Structure 1
Amino acid sequence: MTDRRYPPDVDPQSQCRLPLPRRNELDGEAQRVYDSLSNPSGASLRGLRGPGGIHLHSPQLAQHTRALNRYLRYEAGLGGRLRELAILVTARELDSQFEWAAHEEEARRQGLSSDIIETIRQRCDTAALDEADAVVIELGREMFSARKVSSATFARAVALFGRQKLVDLVALMGNYAATAAMLTAFDMQLDPDTEPPLPIQDRE
């Protein structure tokens, strides 16, 4: 257990720089989003204490984001394993501790092995991995860290996934990159008793 404390500008209830949204301050559609996020058996992994709660401070954004998330996560045909692989790669390359912590267990439930998860976490070589797993990891590393996708990686990706699936896959990763930006800007904190899951060196 860690004795890490929240920064002084972080609300201890929301675990970020914004307070938890209030249901009675939202309109009808936004209230439905609120209710869904508050439902313990709902699709959200973190409920109101996460990106969903941040989005509700802009109700229209929350509604549109929810629709996009639903398509990318459940309707695009990516499948749970590929989806969580792509999310973990995105979280790792953007050093998003909260996003990784929110998805690691779900990734295991969807079939990602400890070896693959550690390859992503430690940024290990992908040569021994299944071709599709290796391509998704290399694609994410090039997009977010190198800021350029090589012709070779793109050719492998489109050959494996086809145009539409690749577009949806990149959109999913871009969507979680946007989520990581939200989590960074509003300083979303891990639970006080949760150790940071990613080995990240402080930047000068």
Structure 2
Amino acid sequence: MTDRLGPIPFAQMSASQQVAAQAVIDGPRGALYGPFVPLIRSPELMSAAQRMGEYLRYRSALGTRLTELAILVTARQWSQQVEWAIHAPIAREYGIAEATIAAIAERRQPVGLPADEALVLEFCLQLHQQQRVDDATYAAALAAFGEHGVVDLMGINGYYTFLAMVMNAAQTAVPGTDAPLLPD
């Protein structure tokens, strides 16, 4: 598979691309990689997306552990290898069990999840697979995370779906990593 929208050397970027790229490089990501490689072709879109992503990834009301779990569910739903390669190790680092990560990768139902992880998993799966969340799951998420947390959870699913669509269409190359890739 050929990377359709591969990296552009910084010196060959337009002035607006350089400004947008430098903002990503100077932020918590520290480099222009993953979805930002194809998105740099639209600097204003990339800038807006990276600001949203910076909030959702680093400061969401759910905290990093549950945010990373939601990202993994989204990556699996879209078979998005770059998201998976980047976020599976982060999820592991923040306490998502290896067995949970493996089950999600293999499209199996994880067992023995903490209640908050089980709720996030169910919410995300319903949102992706049914395009809605049933009343009982929504009420449970609202009780557990409040309105702010529920909106952030919806935002994480939507944002990482957007990135998955971009990278799947652009055939973005998976960065060098020791993380196992998603099975077909």
TM-score, with structure 2 as normaliser: 0.86
Structure 1 or 2: larger helix share? 2
- Choose 128-137 or 69-78, whichever is displaced more: 69-78
The answer on 1:51 being equivalent to 2:35 is yes
Aligned twin of 2:89 = 105
Aligned twin of 2:14 = 26
Residue 190 of structure 1 contacts residue 196 of structure 1 at CA under 8 Å; is this kept in 2? no
Residue 127 of structure 2 contacts residue 133 of structure 2 at CA under 8 Å; is this kept in 1? yes
Gaps of 5+ in 1: 1-6, 11-15
User: Aligned Cα RMSD in Å?
Assistant: 2.5
The answer on 1:116 being equivalent to 2:100 is yes
Residue 92 of structure 1 contacts residue 121 of structure 1 at CA under 8 Å; is this kept in 2? yes
> Which of 37, 45, 51 does residue 61 from structure 1 map onto?
45
Q: If you compute each CA radius of gyration, which structure gives the higher value, 1 or 2?
A: 1
**How far apart, CA to CA, are the structure 2 residues paired with 1:132 and 1:192?**
32
Residue 86 of structure 1 contacts residue 169 of structure 1 at CA under 8 Å; is this kept in 2? yes
Which residue identity is paired with 1:65? A
Aligned twin of 1:173 = 157
Identity of aligned residues (%): 33
Q: 1:105–1:195: structure 2 CA closer, same or farther, 3 Å change rule?
A: closer
TM-score, with structure 1 as normaliser: 0.78
Q: How many residues align?
A: 183
> Which of 58, 80, 84 does residue 96 from structure 1 map onto?
80
Residue 73 of structure 1 contacts residue 83 of structure 1 at CA under 8 Å; is this kept in 2? yes
Residue 82 of structure 2 contacts residue 175 of structure 2 at CA under 8 Å; is this kept in 1? no
